[in-house]
Amino acid sequence: MAEFQYLAKDDKGLIQKGSIEAESRDIAVQTLIKRGLTPQTVQTIKKSKKSMDINLPGGDRVKPKSIVVFTRQFSTMISAGVPMLRALTTLEEQTDSKGLKKALKKITSDVEAGTSLSDALEKHPKVFSNVYVNMVRAGETGGILDQIMMRLANQVEKDSEIRGKFKSAMIYPLVVSLVAIGAVGFLMVGVVPKLASILEGAGGQLPIQTKIILAMSKFISHQWYIILIATFMAIFAFKKFTSKPAGKYKFDKFMLKIPIFGNIIMKVNVARFARTFSSLLSAGVTVIDALDVTSKALTNTVVQKGLGDSIKSIKDGSNISDALAKSKVLPAIIIQMTAVGEETGKLGEVLDKVAEFYEEEVNQITNSLASIIEPILIVGLGGIVGFIVLSVLGPILSIQGTV
Helices 145-186 and 130-142 pack at an angle, to 10 degrees, of: 170
pLDDT surpassing 50 at residue 55: no
SS3 content of the chain, % helix, strand, coil (to 5): 75, 5, 20
Question: Each residue of 245-294: pLDDT tens digit?
Answer: 999 999 999 999 988 788 888 888 888 888 888 888 877 788 888 888 88
Residue 202: pLDDT band by 50, 70, 90 thresholds? Answer: low
Question: Each residue of 360-402: pLDDT tens digit?
Answer: 888 888 777 767 777 887 888 888 888 888 887 777 766 655 5
pLDDT surpassing 50 at residue 51: no
Classified as helix, coil or strand, 260 is coil
At residue 187, what is the residue type? L
- The pLDDT value given to residue 164: 76
Residues 6+ apart with CB under 8 A from 42: 4, 5, 6, 25, 28, 29, 32
What is the distance between the alpha carbons of residues 191 and 197, in angstroms, rounded to a whole number?
11
- Same fold yes or no, 2-49 and 154-403: no
- The pLDDT value given to residue 233: 95
What is the distance between the alpha carbons of residues 124 and 120, in angstroms, rounded to a whole number?
8
Domain ranges for the chain, please list them: 2-49, 64-128, 154-403
Burial of 292 (0-12, 13-18, 19+ CB in 10 A): middle
Buried b (16+ CB within 10 A) or exposed e, 173-187: beebeeebeeebeeb
CB of 166 closer than 8 Å to CB of 264: yes
Q: Please name the fold of domain 2-49.
A: Ubiquitin-like (UB roll) (3.10.20)
What is the distance between the alpha carbons of residues 65 and 62, in angstroms, rounded to a whole number?
8
At residue 197, what is the residue type? S
H/E element, 6: strand 2-9
- The pLDDT value given to residue 158: 80
Question: Each residue of 326-342: pLDDT tens digit?
Answer: 988 888 888 999 999 99
What is the distance between the alpha carbons of residues 165 and 195, in angstroms, rounded to a whole number?
45
Q: Look at residues 63, 202, 47 and name the one whose alpha carbon lies nearest to residue 127.
A: 63
| Domain range 154-403, its CATH number among 1.10.579.10, 3.10.20.30, 1.20.81.30, 3.40.1160.10 | 1.20.81.30
Residue of higher predicted confidence among 29 and 346: 346
Q: What is the DSSP string of 31-44?
A: HHHHTT-EEEEEEE
pLDDT surpassing 80 at residue 126: yes
Distance of CA 74 to the CA centre of its chain: 23
| Torsion angles phi and psi, residue 60, rounded to 5 | -100, 10
Q: Own/partner pairs for 138-141, CB < 8 Å, 24+ apart?
A: 138/280, 138/283, 138/284, 138/285, 139/283, 140/116, 141/284
What is the distance between the alpha carbons of residues 268 and 273, in angstroms, rounded to a whole number?
9
Q: Look at residues 273, 272, 281 and name the one whose alpha carbon lies nearest to residue 138.
A: 281
At residue 280, what is the residue type? L
Residue of higher predicted confidence among 245 and 43: 245
Alpha-helical runs (H) found in 35-83: 64-79
What is the distance between the alpha carbons of residues 120 and 104, in angstroms, rounded to a whole number?
9
The rounded mean pLDDT for the chain is 82
CB of 134 closer than 8 Å to CB of 284: no
Question: Each residue of 142-158: pLDDT tens digit?
Answer: 778 888 888 888 878 88
Residues 6+ apart with CB under 8 A from 144: 283
